[in-house]
Amino acid sequence: MKKRFFVNTILILFVLGITGCAKEPPKEEKKQKQELLLWSYYETEAQKEGLDRLVNGFNNSQRIYRISWEYVPMVDFVKRLSIALSSDSLPDLVLLDNSDMESLIKSEMLEDITDPLQSRVFVDNYYKEVWDSVEYNGRYYGVPFGCNNTVILYNRQMFRQAGVNVPVTWDEFRKAAKALTKTEGEPHYGFAMSAFSGEQGASQFMPWIFATGATAENLADERAVAAFELLEDLLESGCMPHDCMNWSQNDLTRVFVERKVAMIENISGALPEIEASGIDYGIFSFPSYVTQGVVIGGESLAVIQGKDVDGAIAFMDYYNQEEVMEEISEIMWNIPPKKELAEAYAEKNEDMRAFVSQMEEGVSKASIPQWREVRSALSESLYQSFGSSNPAEEIWEEYLAKIEE
Neighbouring CB atoms inside 10 A of 291's CB total: 14
Dihedral (C-alpha) 388, 297, 248, 238: value to the nearest 10 degrees? 50
Q: Quick one: pLDDT band at residue 138, thresholds 50, 70, 90?
A: very high
Q: What is the pLDDT of residues 289-346, one digit of tens each?
A: 999 999 999 999 999 999 999 999 999 999 999 999 999 999 999 999 999 999 999 9
Amino acid letter, residue 98: N
pLDDT higher than 90, residue 20:
no
361: pLDDT confidence band, cut at 50, 70 and 90? Answer: confident
pLDDT of residue 367 exceeding 80:
yes
The answer to whether 177 and 151 have CB atoms below 8 angstroms apart is no
Beta-ladder partners of 296: 364
Q: Which pairing describes strands 295-303 and 363-364: parallel, antiparallel, or unpaired?
A: parallel
Contact 367, 132 (CB under 8 A): yes
Provide the 10 A C-beta neighbour count for residue 231. 21
Common-topology check for domains 34-148+297-364 and 151-293+370-403: yes
Can you tell me the mean pLDDT for 232-254? 96
Report the C-alpha gap between 291 and 309 in whole angstroms.
43
In 102-232, where do the E strands start and end? 135-136, 139-140, 142-148, 151-155, 189-192
Q: Tell me the pLDDT band of 16, cut-offs 50, 70 and 90.
A: very low
Flag whether the pTM goes above 0.85: yes
CATH code of the domain made up of 151-293+370-403? 3.40.190.10
- 134-165: buried (b, 16+ CB within 10 Å) or exposed (e) per residue? bbbeeebbbbbbbbbbbbbbbbeebbeebebe
Cα separation, 373 vs 405, in Å, equals 10
Q: Where are the alpha helices (DSSP H) in 22-98?
A: 45-61, 77-86
CA distance 190 to 49: 32
Which regions of 238-290 does DSSP assign to beta strands (E)?
261-266, 281-284
Task: Give the DSSP letter of residue 288.
Answer: B
CATH class entry, domain 34-148+297-364: alpha beta
Instruction: Give the residue extent of every domain in the chain.
Output: 34-148+297-364, 151-293+370-403
Task: Check if the beta carbon of residue 44 is closer than 8 Å to that of residue 271.
Answer: no
**CA–CA gap between residue 302 and residue 144 (Å, rounded):** 9
Q: Across residues 205-230, what is the average pLDDT?
A: 96
Compute the Cα dihedral for 326, 282, 209, 97 and give only its sign.
negative
**pLDDT, tens digit, for every residue of 40-89?**
999 999 999 999 999 999 999 999 999 999 999 998 899 999 999 988 89
pLDDT at 405: 75
Q: Kind of pairing, strands 261-266 and 189-192? A: parallel
Least confident residue range of 31-35, 219-223, 354-358: 31-35
Measured between alpha carbons, how far is 132 from 124 in angstroms, rounded to an integer? 11
Percent of the chain predicted with pLDDT > 90: 86
pLDDT band at 17 (very low <50, low <70, confident <90, very high): very low
Q: Per-residue pLDDT for 379 more than 60?
A: yes
- The predicted-structure confidence for 79-137, as pLDDT tens digits, reads as follows 999 999 988 899 999 999 999 999 999 999 999 999 999 989 999 999 999 999 999 99
CA distance 54 to 70: 14
Q: What is the pLDDT of residue 30?
A: 54
* Among 69, 403, 353, CA closest to 221: 403
Q: What is the mean pLDDT of the chain?
A: 91
* Nearest in space to 35 (alpha carbons), one of 68, 81, 1: 68
Amino acid 404: pLDDT? 84
Over the range 314-350, which residues count as b (16 or more CB within 10 Å of their CB) and which as e? bbbbbebeeebbbebbbbbbbbbbbbebbeebbeeee
pLDDT, tens digit (0-9, with 9 covering 90-100), for 141-194: 999 999 999 999 999 999 999 999 999 999 999 999 999 999 988 999 999 999
Q: What is the pLDDT of residue 323?
A: 97
**Ranges of H-type helices in 136-185:** 156-162, 170-180
